[in-house]
Amino acid sequence: MKRFIFSILLTIVCTLVFAQTGRLHNNMVLRDPFYLDTTSVDFQNILHLWNDYKDCVFDDWMISQDNNKIDVNSKAILFWEESERQKYGQIGSLQGNPDLFLRTFQLEPTNYFMGKELFIGVEKRNDTLFELRTMFFDDYPTENQLAGVYTIPIIKHSENDYKFFSKLSLLEPTFQSYKLGWLTFMYPRTYNFNETAAQQTFKLLDGIAETLQLEQPNSVVYYLFDNKTEFYHSLGVDVSPYDFIGCSRVYPQGLCLDNGKILFFTKEGETLAHELIHCLIREKGWKYTMFEEGLCSYYGGHALESKEVTLSNLKLWLNENPQIDLSLDLFKADFSDFTNNYSYALQMVVCEMIHHTGGMKMAFDILYSISEGEDGYFVIAKHLGFKKKNINNIIRDYLNKNY
C-alpha cells in the first residue's frame, strides 16, 4: 500500500515537473522570424521595387562612366522618399542617390550591385513601415567576400507607391543634439558628449572660416557614435567586415559627405576638426589635392593622434628607410610598414613648414593656387623656395631637427 501511495505521489510530482519544464520550454521557444511570406503582395511589390532600383543604379553608373561625370538626372534617386532626397540626395561622387552605406564605404556601386546577392527578406514593422534585408558579396578580385548585410527601411504610401527611407532618419528623433552656430552635433543618448571640446573645435573652425572669408558657412550636422558598430547600424549596415577592426571597435576615422553632411563614428569626434575643415574648403570651392589632407590633418587632427606623435613616427620611419627619395616621388614609396597614413603625414610636414613661414593664411592661399592635375607638392616647394632635388634633404632635416 505504502509503495502504491509512493508511486502515485511520484507520478504526480513527475507530472508537475514535466508540466513546468514544458512551460519553461514554451517560454524559451525562439521568436519565429517575422519575415513576410514571399507570396504576400507587400513582399512581391518590395522585391520588384528593389530589383528595379538596382537596375537604375546600374544604368546611372553606366551613364556616368560614359560621360565621365555624374548624371544629374539620376533615376535611382526617385526611389527614395522626398525628404531623404532633400537631405542626402545631392549629386555627389557616386550616382547621386542617398545610399549612405555606399557613401560610407566610398566604393563604386559595382562592388555591391554587380556582386553576388543573397536576398534575406522583408520584415513588416507596421502597416506603412517595412524593412528590406539583404546581403552582398564582393567578388573582387577573385574570391567572394562578405561586403555586408544591409537593412533599408521602406515606407508604403499605397499599394503602388513604396519609397526607400534611411535608417539614420528613423533613428534621428531619438538622438541628442548640441548646436554651435552653423554646426550641430548629433549623438545617441548613451554617448558621453564633451561640450568643452566641441566649443574649442568650433572656435578653431570659425577662425578658418574667417581666413577663407566665409561669412556664414552652410549648416553642418556632425554625428558621433561610441563605436563603429553603432555608426554602421545607424546607416542600416547590420554586419560589415570593416566593423571588426580592433576589439574596442573604436577605429578613429571620419567621413565628410560631399553635400556637407558629416558622419564621425568614434568617441572623441568632437575634438577633431579635420572633416569639418574639408567641408569649409568644399564650400569655398572644390579643389581636392593631397595637400588638403595635410592641411586638414595639421590644423584639425588626424586619426586621434597628436601631430607630434605622427610626425616623430614619420621621422623614425624615414630614418629607417634612407633609400626613399622624397625628391623623386612622394606617393610611390612603399609605406606599408608605416603605422599611420604616410602621405597624410608628409603633407602635414609641408603644411607645418608653410605655417611657420606665412601662417594659416599662406597655407590656404597655396591650397587654392594648386590647379587640378597639377603636382601640388612641387607647387608648394616653389612657394617655399625649394629646389626639387633638395626636397628629400629639406624634409628629412626638418623632421630630425624638430621631432
Residues in contact with Zn ion by CB under 5 A are 293, 296
Q: Closer to Zn ion by CB, 150 or 298: give it.
A: 298
What is the grid cell recorded at 352?
607645418
Q: Considering the complex, what minimum distance in angstroms separates the CB of residue 347 from Zn ion? A: 10
CB closer to Zn ion out of 60 and 293: 293
- In 3D, which of 383, 347, 359, 345 has the Cα closest to residue 207? 359
Residue 113 or 344 having the CB closest to Zn ion: 344
Q: What is the DSSP letter of 240?
A: -
The cell 617655399 sits on which residue?
Answer: 384
Residue among 71 and 293 whose Cβ is closer to Zn ion: 293
Query: What is the closest distance, in whole angstroms, from the C-beta atom of residue 296 to Zn ion in the complex?
Result: 5
User: Which residues are bridge partners to 134 per DSSP?
Assistant: 119, 150
Q: Is the CB of residue 122 less than 8 Å from the CB of residue 47?
A: yes
Least distance from Zn ion to the Cβ atom of residue 261, Å: 15
Please identify, using beta-carbon distances, which residue of 131 and 292 lies nearer to Zn ion: 292
Bridge partner residues of 103 (DSSP): none
3-class state of residue 296 by DSSP = helix
**Closest to 184 measured CA to CA, from 145, 127, 224:** 224
Q: Quick one: 171 or 311, whose CB is closer to Zn ion?
A: 311
How near is the Cβ of 302 to Zn ion at its closest, in Å? 8
DSSP string covering 70-100: --TT-SGGGGB-HHHHHHH-S--SSSSS--H
Shortest distance, position 292 Cβ to Zn ion, whole Å: 7
Cβ distance to Zn ion smaller for residue 291 or 386: 291
> Nearest distance from residue 363's CB to Zn ion, in Å?
15
Query: Could you give the dihedral angle defined by the CA atoms of residues 58, 62, 64 and 67, in that order, rounded to the nearest 10 degrees?
Result: -170
Angle, to 10 degrees, between the axis of helix 391-402 and the axis of helix 307-320? 120
Residue among 148, 155, 133, 170 nearest 79 (CA): 155
CB of 387 to Zn ion, least distance (A): 29
Shortest separation between residue 399's beta carbon and Zn ion, angstroms: 21
Q: β-pairing, 183-187 with 220-224?
A: parallel
CB of 154 or CB of 296, closer to Zn ion: 296
Are 360 and 390 contacting, i.e. CB atoms less than 8 angstroms apart?
no
Amino acid (1-letter code) at residue 386? F
| Shortest distance, position 256 Cβ to Zn ion, whole Å | 7
Q: How far is the CB of 293 from Zn ion (least distance, A)?
A: 5
156 or 274: whose CB is closer to Zn ion?
Answer: 274
Three-state SS letters, 147-204 = EEEEEEEEEEEECCEEEECCHHHHHHHHCEEEEECCEEEEECCCCCCCHHHHHHHHHH
* Omega within 30 of 0 (cis) for the link into 241: no
Q: CB neighbours of 192 closer than 8 A, spacing ≥ 6?
A: 267
The residue (of 182 and 264) whose beta carbon lies closer to Zn ion is: 264
